[in-house]
Amino acid sequence: MKMLNIALKDLQILIKDRGSLILLFLLPLLFVVAFSGALGAIGQGEEDARIALPVVDLDGGQAAASFLADLDAAGGVSVEPYAEAEAAALLAEKEIARLLTIPAGFTARMAGGQPTTLRLVNQPNADPEETEAVRLVVDGVARDMSLEAQILSALQQMGQMQAGTGQGAMAFTVERMQVQAQGQFDRSQVQPLVSVAQRLPGQEAEVEEQPDLKAFTLPGMTVLFVFMTAQTTARSIYDEKKLGSFRRLLAAPMGKVTILGGKVLRTWLTGLIQVAVLFGFGIFGLRLFGMTPASLGPRPLLTLVAVLLVTLCSSALGILIAALARTESQIGGISTLLMWVLGVLGGAFVPLFLLEQFLGPVPMLVPHYWANRTLVDLMVRGLGIADVALDLAVLLGFSALFFGIGLWRFDYD
């Protein structure tokens, strides 16, 4: 109860400090908007490495649209629709290297189980490797679509044959069997039974597809500014020592650990409020700026546990700064510089998967790295407890280390 009273007293003082409120609550929101826009522009500026595939759709039906969507999603080629006359002129002028044509009546012939032919024309001087790659992708998507149509047609024929054998034999209707089969086809596109992990020579692990760069902004800015609260804790303790109120706390009937515990609790509550504001803005406020909203990930309760440990680590760091800093300039200037440097090393401004390519294991030395990695794994990559258990343990270890050194080195005079 005494710790809570100290924390509430400090929170009341913080609310009256407009400069601290701007630093802890308004500035983070501005950074989230700015860096989301900047990383989004970088992502949009990345060149599409897929092979361009001009397509003329003379059918315009559902089967043709489904085929083109599967072709574009298959990877390797980028579908570019053209009108027939325009494509023919570009092909004749050798402005395009290849052209795929979907014939009229494609949808009707697929529905009727009749053979149909797609026409793929390649320029003689086109890159042979690209030509073969495009052919393989088109052929693969066409085979998958053909197999799906044949299986659905077979199920329909089975249902028609069973219709004459009596109601008892009709355990499943044609519609139910087709819906079940279609569900399996759709699932296989997202969760295939067999997948291929591409590896480059000399690499030990498969190439991981990284999420959208904008998604890294909210976790990075959250970690950066949550750890900024450590400076306000150190400044609060210094101001109380300067005014003499800290000496009165020492004279009160409470232990030194209780006093520092109240300071940690104040920082912890401030950090939780700060995270709530940042997450609320990321989920609802980014829409107002036309940006993709953030997500807490598929396991929001686990994300909450991670936030509790991140804010705890920040609170313990505040005690450490208060114990080591001896003057107002050290708390203000040095600790601010330290927080920004640790933020940079911890991946607040540059996504960790890019930062690690340049700095290797160096970022692992700072708590910001582990806090950022935990939130990214939970909120962006959707990983589970087994994947972030080490990160959470390291954050807890940093918290114990900071608080232990702070208690040991703290000057109560």
> Which of 271, 295, 299, 273 has the alpha carbon at shortest distance from 282?
295
Among the three residues 140, 170, 185, which one is the final residue of a domain in this structure?
A: 185
Q: CB under 8 Å to 92, separation ≥6 — which residues?
A: none
Residue 196 maps to a domain: no
Query: Cα separation of 268 and 256, whole Å?
Result: 18
Q: Which two tokens stand for residue 311?
A: 């804010």
The amino acid occupying position 3 is: M
Q: pLDDT at residue 324 above 50?
A: yes
Report the CATH number that the domain containing residue 176 is assigned in CATH.
3.40.1710
Q: Are 272 and 139 contained in the same domain?
A: no
Q: What angle do CA 341, 343, 345 make, to 5 degrees?
A: 70
Which SS3 state, helix, strand or coil, does residue 206 take? Answer: coil
Cα 408 to the center of its chain, rounded Å: 39
How many other C-beta atoms can be found within 10 angstroms of the C-beta atom of residue 353? Answer: 14
Evaluate whether residue 330 is within a structural domain: yes
Which residue range forms the structural domain that includes residue 162?
Answer: 51-185
Whether residues 16 and 64 fall in one domain: no
Question: Residue 76, SS3?
Answer: coil
pLDDT(39) > 70: no
Distance CA 312, CA 390 (A): 16
Residue 194 forms part of a structural domain = no
- Is the residue at 327 inside a domain? yes
Identify whether residues 168 and 106 lie together within a single domain: yes
Q: Tokens 């208690």 identify what position?
A: 407
Please tell me the least confidently modeled range out of 125-129, 145-149, 212-216, 336-340: 145-149
Same-domain status, 269 and 165: no
Please report the sign of the dihedral spanned by the C-alpha atoms of residue 22, residue 28, residue 31, residue 36.
negative
* Tally of domains within the chain: 2
Residues 122 and 146 grouped into a single domain: yes
Cα separation, 243 vs 254, whole angstroms: 20
Q: Is residue 198 part of a domain?
A: no
Based on the domain organization, do 79 and 111 belong to the same domain? yes
Instruction: Give 370-389 pLDDT, tens digit per residue.
Output: 999 999 999 988 888 999 99
Question: Residue 100: phi, psi to the nearest 5?
Answer: -105, 130
Stated as kind and residue range, the H or E segment containing 412 is none
Q: For tokens 């800093």, name the residue.
A: 325
**242-265: per-residue pLDDT in tens?**
766 666 666 666 666 777 777 778
Euclidean distance between the first and final Cα of the chain, in Å? 24
pLDDT of residue 198: 35
| Rg (the chain; Cα; Å) | 30
| Lowest pLDDT segment from 69-83, 134-148, 195-209, 313-327 | 195-209
The Cα–Cα gap between 175 and 155 comes to: 9
Beta-strand runs (E) in 39-146: 51-57, 77-81, 98-102, 119-122
DSSP assignment, residue 381? S
Residues 171-217: tens digit of each pLDDT: 555 565 545 445 544 544 444 433 333 343 444 444 444 556 678 88
Residue pair 64/57 in contact (Cβ under 8 Å)? The answer is: yes
Gap between the Cα atoms of 66 and 84, Å rounded: 19
Query: How many residues make up the chain in this entry?
Result: 413
CA 86 – CA 73 distance, rounded (Å):
25
Q: Same structural domain for residues 64 and 15?
A: no
Residues 6+ apart with CB under 8 A from 63: 106, 107, 110, 111, 145
Average pLDDT, the chain: 77
Q: Are residues 304 and 251 in the same domain?
A: yes
In a domain, 263, yes or no: yes
